[in-house]
Amino acid sequence: MGLTPGAGAGAMGRAAEPGESGLGDGYFPTSGNGGYDVGNYKVDLKFTPEGHQVEATVEVKAKAERELSSFNLDYRGPKITKVTVDGQAAEYERKGRELVVTPAAPIAEGAAFETAVSYTGTPPTLTNPGLGSYGWSRSKDGALVTAQPDGASAWLPSNDHPSDKATFDFAITVPAKLRAYANGEPGRPVTENGLTTYHWHERSPMATYLATIAIGKFVERRSKAGKVEVITAVDPKYRKSLKRVHDTTVKTMRWQQKLFGPYPFSTTGAIVDDPQLGYALETQSRPVYGGFVPDEAFIVHEIAHQWFGNSVSLRRWEDIWLNEGFATYVEWLWKERHNRHESTRKIFNRYYRQSGNSPALSPVPGRPGRKEMFGFSVYIRGAMTLEALRRKVGDRAFFRTLRTWAVENKDGYGDTEKFIALAEKTSGKQLDRLFKVWLYQKGKPAKNSW
């Protein structure tokens, strides 16, 4: 679901050609692939603790955007045992992070086709300076998936770029003493011969990096917040925090609905697991906290991403401030609302006193560079950009802009230009200078820039 460069390019009479191996993202040029659009991933995965073995079949339902002689999936997981396209064995070749699939016959333009990839082994934990470890991580008693930004390919043969969102179905089989969680709505667990299969279904389009799997022992709490099902799972090590994490998630979700419009998904909750990742990830509908119990602000941040980043997605990673600056600003709003001695204005002023090349203000959030894409300034100066906007346009236009952004782009996409255009339309003010200075101009923005 989404646009890729090849869209609509199928000129009549053109011979079938291979799909591109990347989408040309400025930071991750080989992430994603050209020539097709994925609608659904069906993940059937079995986990065996002995030897940490994973046996999986992933079915990728996609639509060809032009006639394809072959196409790529992003994949850097364990050994592939079989690839089929529409039920027929297909040729495949691994080239670094790419899996090139050549079906028995070319796929026609506009055709729906289904690729099934089976693999067996242990998916890799990826590491990257600035990102830490991500992809597939081992936990004490199972595994945990956190794949932002380009780590889904560690375990999911996919079109691994947020510009192609899809629905997901999971069937995860584990020894009956363990549990398995993923995104979205649960199905009924089925136990047979000492193995339990857990079913999960994410019905809203989801970026591949937001797909999660958590396997292990967990204590669990379920409730309803209006129509939204709340499921919180906590490693037994953190069992004392289960109720607090669950209740805070519900409380912050309710508060954010008043500000930004209806919660965009059918379920919510949290997964607190033991791998010491040192970060949380806003995995769709059920954020993951890796190795720590989150405080309120952390939960507010990850829940804010459900609107800003998950429902309204990035088309390119360079716009990461639209995720992190927004979620950080929502933390500030929470503090303003719940702490008499705090306000977004005060928090902004504290950072504004720092020097222009302090980590809070540099590099610029609109062009942080790949290594700094999750750097402090993307979060802080990104949030300061929103505070500058609020001061310039006033509360009414500011909150209307955030809300309209979430509502109009629900289950869709946003980029920086589109946000600026909306802010200008909503406020009736010319804002390109403000955004240019705050997002792209090195050094501390002058006082007249808001």
Peptide bond into 149 cis (omega under 30): yes
Q: Does 27 bind ligand ARG (CB under 6 A)?
A: no
CB of 27 to Zn ion, least distance (A): 16
DSSP 14: P
Q: Does 134 bind ligand ARG (CB under 6 A)?
A: yes
The entry of Zn ion, ligand ARG, none near residue 317 (CB within 5 to 8 angstroms by kind) is none
- Out of 131, 156, 172, 393, the residue judged to bind ligand ARG by CB under 6 A: 131
CA gap 209, 202 in Å, rounded: 14
Say how many residues touch Zn ion, by CB under 5 A.
Answer: 2
- Out of 49, 132, 175, 412, the residue judged to bind ligand ARG by CB under 6 A: 132
- Identify whether the C-beta of residue 124 lies closer than 8 Å to the C-beta of residue 77: yes
Please identify, among the stretches 56-64, 169-177, 321-329, 344-352, the one whose residues bind Zn ion according to the rule CB under 5 A: 321-329
CB of 245 to ligand ARG, least distance (A): 16
CA gap 13, 103 in Å, rounded: 20
CB of 269 to ligand ARG, least distance (A): 16
What is the chain's percent helix, strand, coil content, to nearest 5?
30, 30, 40
CB of 446 to ligand ARG, least distance (A): 29
Q: Which residues of 294-327 are buried (b: 16+ CB within 10 A; e: fewer)?
A: bebebbbbbbbbbbbbbbbbbbbbbbbbbbbbbb
- Out of 30, 33, 115, 148, the residue judged to bind ligand ARG by CB under 6 A: 148
Q: Does 210 bind Zn ion (CB under 5 A)?
A: no
Q: Does 380 bind Zn ion (CB under 5 A)?
A: no
Q: Does 373 bind Zn ion (CB under 5 A)?
A: no
Measured from the Cβ of residue 392, the count of other Cβ atoms closer than 10 Å reads 17
Say how many residues touch ligand ARG, by CB under 6 A.
Answer: 12
Residues 45-74 that bind ligand ARG (CB under 6 A): none
Exposed, middle or buried: residue 27 (CB in 10 Å: 0-12, 13-18, 19+)? middle
User: Read out DSSP for 234-289?
Assistant: E-GGGGGGHHHHHHHHHHHHHHHHHHHSS-SSSEEEEEEESS--SSEE--TTS-EE
Please identify, among the stretches 129-137, 253-261, 344-352, 385-393, the one whose residues bind ligand ARG according to the rule CB under 6 A: 129-137
- Out of 281, 322, 347, 384, the residue judged to bind ligand ARG by CB under 6 A: 281
* Per-position x/- string for 324-363, each x denoting binding to ligand ARG as judged by CB under 6 A, each - no binding: ---x------------------------------------
Closer residue to ligand ARG (CB): 280 or 402: 280
CA neighbor of 152 nearest in space, from 196, 104, 211, 206: 211
Q: Does 279 bind ligand ARG (CB under 6 A)?
A: yes
Residue 364 in tokens: 């610029």
Amino acid symbol at 98? E
Residues near Zn ion (CB under 5 A): 324, 327
Residues near ligand ARG (CB under 6 A): 131-132, 134, 148, 279-282, 301, 305, 327, 374
